[in-house]
Amino acid sequence: MTSLPSSRPVVRLRPKAEARAIRHGFPWVYADELVLDRRTNALEPGALAVLEDGERRPMGLVTVNPKSKIVARMLDRDTGAALDRAWFEARLAHALALRERLYSEPFYRLVHAEADGFPGVVIDRFGDAAVIQPNAAWAEAHLDMLVAALQAVTGVGIVVKNGTGRARSLEGLTEETLVLKGALDGPVPVRMNGASYMADLTGGQKTGIFYDQRDNHAFAARLAKGGRVLDVFSHVGGFGLAALAAGAESALAVDGSEPALVLAERGAAAMGLAERFARRQGDAFETLEALQAEGERFELVVCDPPAFAPHRQALDAGLRAYERVARLAAPLVAPGGYLVLCSCSHAADLSQFRAASTRGIGKGGRRGQLIHTGFAGPDHPMLPQLAESGYLKSLAFRLD
């Protein structure tokens, strides 16, 4: 699906809208900043349009979705850009060049939405397979072209569409997961930080694995050598398996999802370390309380929960949840051991998350040093003008 530059509609910022931020790289226009007249409201979700400021000066090529709070997303500063296969291939090649410089094997996030010039689009690569999350209406409308360009640039034979999640519902898109190209016969093995993971590309959380934690896995693994590790909210064993690969004595994975724990167990077996791995399915908060009652202690405890504060309305409740995690986890750390706490909440910034974690550690009867602050890996680049693209925080404490 393409549109000719000469036939594109024009949308315009309201007179008092802040055009400077957009000119300086901010990629979104909110519904209260755009003139939503009858003509604009009649545009199909994902339609391409030329954005003008309040004085009718062109600002760039945008995709418009009148049904979304983010009513326009910047695609190209060139208002005459042709959104054809060459456009997609050029941007994908630019993204691929960074990842190939960073990693020796094809396991990484290939496209990180706005930061890679693909608003609302995530693509994770798993060797010969790739998972696309088209979380914006324009990407859904251009999906065939995106898939063709992806295969041409990377050579992947398997392409999965993961059309699930809150972001799609905000765009008015339906949920579905499909294998668009090739075929899958089960979970895909992923090598990372010396560990082996099993990623379910069609039935797992998100795209099947969390590449954003790669560097934080590696740092925590350095603290785990020779010790017992507790990996809470473990998913497919991210921190625990990395710790085992680095020489941890044992790893206990805790998660609410039995299928995810089975995949973690399979990863440990693939590493030849099944005897040093254990799993415990159940509510994380209840399990933390039970482990304390059982007198358990670990040299490294990691808690990597889902986003407790995905939006501003959930911020206060989310910060209380992060504090509770820290309060329950801190007593499980052996004297002189380490506690790693993570947040992937957009709404909770680093200072708020750090304060909540520190309060929780104190209420758990412990004190300690903050020895490391981590973020998402470089295959998850941050668009400087968009704070939301820097969502992941990881704090490592050494407790007295």
Q: Do residue 175 and residue 211 come from a single domain?
A: no
pLDDT at residue 1, as a whole number: 47
In this structure, the answer to whether residues 349 and 331 fall within a common structural domain is yes
d(CA 295, CA 139): 51
pTM: 0.94
pLDDT score, position 15? 87
Give the residue ranges of the chain where pLDDT is below 50.
1
pLDDT of residue 2: 54
Q: What is the pLDDT of residue 238?
A: 95
63 and 90 co-located in one domain = no
Rounded Cα distance, 85 and 351, in Å: 43
For residue 189, being part of any structural domain is answered with: no
Q: Would you state the pLDDT for residue 17?
A: 79
How many DSSP H helices and E strands does the chain contain? Answer: 12, 19
What pLDDT is stored for residue 277 in this prediction?
A: 98
**pLDDT at residue number 366:** 97
Please report whether residue 188 resides in a domain. no
Structural domain of 168: 85-181
Query: Is residue 207 a part of any domain in this protein?
Result: yes
Residue 304 neighbours by CB distance under 10 Å: 24
The whole-number pLDDT of residue 390 equals: 81
Residues 199 and 283 in one domain: yes
Q: What is the pLDDT of residue 7?
A: 80
Domain-located, residue 314: yes
The set of residues, in sequence order, having a beta carbon less than 8 Å from that of 124 and lying 6+ positions away, is 108, 109, 110, 130, 131, 207, 208, 209, 211
Q: Is residue 187 part of a domain?
A: no
Q: How many CB atoms lie within 10 A of CB 63?
A: 27
Pair (90, 71) in one structural domain = no
Our answer to whether residue 344 is catalytic in this structure is yes
Specify whether 389 is located in the same domain as 327.
yes
Q: Dihedral of the CA atoms 186, 275, 217, 197 (nearest 10)?
A: -10
Beta bridge partners of 301: 230, 339
Question: 390 and 246 in one domain?
Answer: yes
Given the residues 17, 74, 156, 344, select the one marked as catalytic: 344
Burial of 276 (0-12, 13-18, 19+ CB in 10 A): middle
Based on the domain organization, do 256 and 393 belong to the same domain? yes
Where residue 232 falls (left for φ over 0; alpha for ψ -120 to 50; beta otherwise) is beta
In three-state secondary structure terms, 161 is strand
Q: Is residue 186 one of the residues assigned to a domain? A: no
Q: Which of 181, 209, 238 is the last residue of a domain?
A: 181
Whether 320 and 352 share a structural domain: yes
Number of domains present in the structure of the chain:
3
DSSP string, 310-360: SSGGGHHHHHHHHHHHHHHHGGGEEEEEEEEEEE--SSS-HHHHHHHHHHH
